[in-house]
Amino acid sequence: MKQFLAILWGGNAGLAREEVKALLETYGSKGQLMEISPRLVLGEASSIAADAVLRRAACVRHAGLVVGRVDGEIFADLSGYDLDGFKVLDLTGSSLQSRIGDWVRTRWGGRVDLDSPATVLVVLRTQQGILLVAESFVEKRFWHRKMGRPYVRIGALHPQLAICMVNLARAKENFWFFDPFSGSSAITVEAALVGALSISSDLDYEACKGGMLNAAASDVEICSVNADAFHQFLRDGSVASLATDPPFGRLSSTHRLPRDKLFSDVVKMMGRLLMPNAGFSVLIPQGIDLASLPWKENGLKVLAVIPMRAHRSFTRYVIRGEKATCASDASLKEENGEGP
């Protein structure tokens, strides 16, 4: 385990912190995250977990391992990083950028590249002193991903929020992921992009076809099924992670089902489909009594409720949680490699 640091995106710090926590949990670094400031978190993580946050987190500006510190002298180990093109981002206000840049060039033979760096060295001041954090540069290109969709549906999630939902649900490479209200498959495509085995369903046949087009445009494969979310085709306890944005009557129809009833049924469905210890995330609009939903009765534990203002008069809530761990036949499906 190594020291890990993340600088959070400014839009919704609560959502960003939960996303980092969920990704660390996904890769085995649970419970080792400490908040330094509203936009800065420090903890311990494996190299695999830190890399996952760097590659996948939608709400993180910078993330990486602490490789050294500046305490009069510069003490850092940059072995293993591509320094043929690097840049220094100095957040201390102490004009350390040139000094550290010169040190990397002379000590490590690095070459500055401000436009397309392979490695970014972030310098920041904390209670532990001035730390040097190294991260491999990753361009997430959310806008390009949105513009690259051949099928666009009103109300479809922006790729940034879609991948955040996938991360909150703890989707993982080669494990089954499911979105039962997929629409144009914005969430399912993002899950496939991180390597999950992605299945989606929707009552709208045209949306299912459009979702397949969006997957093809992103060069990933998904299974899109035209089905009623409440009459599912999957085996109970077969899903390793689930993220979804159910309809609630503003931009998408609930088909005359009362909203309270709809979201109660969503919770029951998640409890039935998820395997033990599986993660989930679901968007719920204001006006739904979250405490009255049957989480516990269906073996679900809510880990976080994050408000997300859609506009001035309307708020939605991102619910992050997990299925309780229990000894059952469902827990053997993951071990035996069984799919839905």
SS3 state at 266: helix
Instruction: Please give the average per-residue pLDDT across 90-96, as a whole number.
Output: 91
Whether residue 40 is predicted with pLDDT greater than 70 in this model: the reply is yes
Higher pLDDT, 30 or 164: 164
Alpha-carbon distance values, 68 to 22, 64, 135 (Å): 26, 12, 13
> What is the pLDDT, as a whole number, of residue 339?
58
> What is the pLDDT, as a whole number, of residue 45?
86
Instruction: Please give the average per-residue pLDDT across 159-165, as a whole number.
Output: 96
Band of pLDDT at residue 314, cut at 50, 70 and 90: confident
User: What share of the chain in percent tops pLDDT 90?
Assistant: 68
Band of pLDDT at residue 336, cut at 50, 70 and 90: very low
Per the prediction, the chain carries an average pLDDT of 90
User: What share of the chain in percent tops pLDDT 70?
Assistant: 93
d(CA 179, CA 125): 41
d(CA 221, CA 184): 14
CA dihedral 271, 261, 313, 310 (to 10 degrees): 30
> What is the pLDDT, as a whole number, of residue 31?
57
Whether residue 136 is predicted with pLDDT greater than 50 in this model: the reply is yes
Query: What residues contact 301, with CB distance under 8 A and at least 6 apart?
Result: 295, 321, 322, 323, 324
Q: What does the pLDDT look like over 44-71, one tens digit per residue? A: 888 888 889 989 999 998 889 999 999 8
Q: What does the pLDDT look like over 202-213, one tens digit per residue? A: 999 999 999 999
Please give the distance of CA 121 from its chain centroid, rounded to a whole number: 23
Instruction: Please give the average per-residue pLDDT across 106-133, as a whole number.
Output: 93
Whether residue 198 is predicted with pLDDT greater than 90 in this model: the reply is yes
CB 180 within 8 A of CB 191: no
Whether residue 335 is predicted with pLDDT greater than 70 in this model: the reply is no
> What is the pLDDT, as a whole number, of residue 1?
82
> What is the pLDDT, as a whole number, of residue 262?
92
Q: What does the pLDDT look like over 216-232, one tens digit per residue? A: 999 999 999 999 988 88
Higher pLDDT, 340 or 94: 94
